[in-house]
Amino acid sequence: MDELRSHIISAIVMHRPGVLQRVAGLFTRRGFNIDSITVGPSEQEGLARMTIISTGDDKVLEQITKQLNKIIEVIKVRDLNADGTVTRELCLIKTHATSERARSEIIQYANIFRGRIVDVGPENLTLEITGTPEKIDALIDLLKSFGIQEIARTGPTAISRGSKTI
């Protein structure tokens, strides 16, 4: 049995209704798992880029890319090599901040993590942070002691380094 690994699959798809359903349905039907999926417009009009994070062995990954390629509206699929790829995720965190001390600590953490305070309420702060999923996990861990009220994460999106495109 091959080793289970997390894979970053990048796909260029036609930007049309139903495409996300086709892709998601394929994963369900074939028993592949999706850790996260992000979709947005790509550099070309009418085409969108999907970034799918999935865990599986090499055989599963091969099937995922081949089955994705069979979808008529999927134009290109690439398994991005983790080393040669820039991966980023955006996260919004709303946390309790009732005392002056808590507020200043949270602001300091945000600065260290190159995050920003995007909203201030009488009893809470909302932070915006962008980075690798690991970095976001680390900040969330630190903020837990203040009492996190809500987290909204986009899931990672990715692009290959250098001049390489998919």
Partner 1 sequence: MKGSQAIIKSLTDEGVDVVFGYPGGVLLPLYDVIYDSDLKHILVRHEQCAAHAADGYARASGKVGVCIGTSGPGATNLVTGIATAYMDSAPIVALAGQVGTPLIGNDAFQEVDTIGITMPISKHSYQAMKPSEIPEMIRSSFYIARTGRPGPVVVDLPKDVQEGELEYPENITIDLPGYKPTKKGHPLQVKRASEMILNCKKPVLLAGGGVIHSNSSEELKHVSELIEAPVTTTLMGKSSFPEDHPLSLGMLGMHGRKVSNMIVDECDCLIAIGCRFSDRTTGDVAKFAPNAKLIHIDVDPAEIGKNIPVDLPIVGDAKIILSHLIRAISQSKNHNNHGWVDYVSKFRAKCLPRLSFEEMPLKPQQVIKEISEAVTDETIVTTDVGQNQMWMAHYFTSRNPRKFISSGGLGTMGFGFPAAMGAKVAMPENDVVAVCGDGGFLMVCQDLATVKEYDIPVVVCVMDNRYLGMVFQWQKLFYEERISHTKLKAMPDFVKLAEAFGVNAYRVERPGDMKETLQEALKSGEPSLIDVMIDPNEILPMVPPGCGLTEIIGEDEVERGNPDEIPHKFSAKETGGD
Binding site for partner 1 (CB under 8 A): 13-14, 18, 21-22, 25-26, 29, 59, 62-63, 66-67, 69-75
- Taking the complex as a whole, the smallest distance from the CB of residue 73 to partner 1 amounts, in Å, to 6
Q: What is the 3-state secondary structure (H, E, C) of the chain?
A: CCCCEEEEEEEEEECCCCHHHHHHHHHHHHCCCCCEEEEEECCCCCEEEEEEEEEECHHHHHHHHHHHHHCCCEEEEEEECHHHEEEEEEEEEEEECCCHHHHHHHHHHHHHCCCEEEEECCCEEEEEEEECHHHHHHHHHHHHHHCEEEEEECCCEEEECCCCCC
Using the minimum distance from each CB to partner 1, give the nearer residue, 2 or 119: 2
CB-nearer residue toward partner 1: 14 or 107: 14
In the complex, the smallest distance separating the C-beta of residue 71 from partner 1, rounded to whole angstroms, is 7
Shortest distance, CB of residue 1 to partner 1, whole angstroms? 13
Residue with Cβ nearer partner 1 (14 or 117): 14
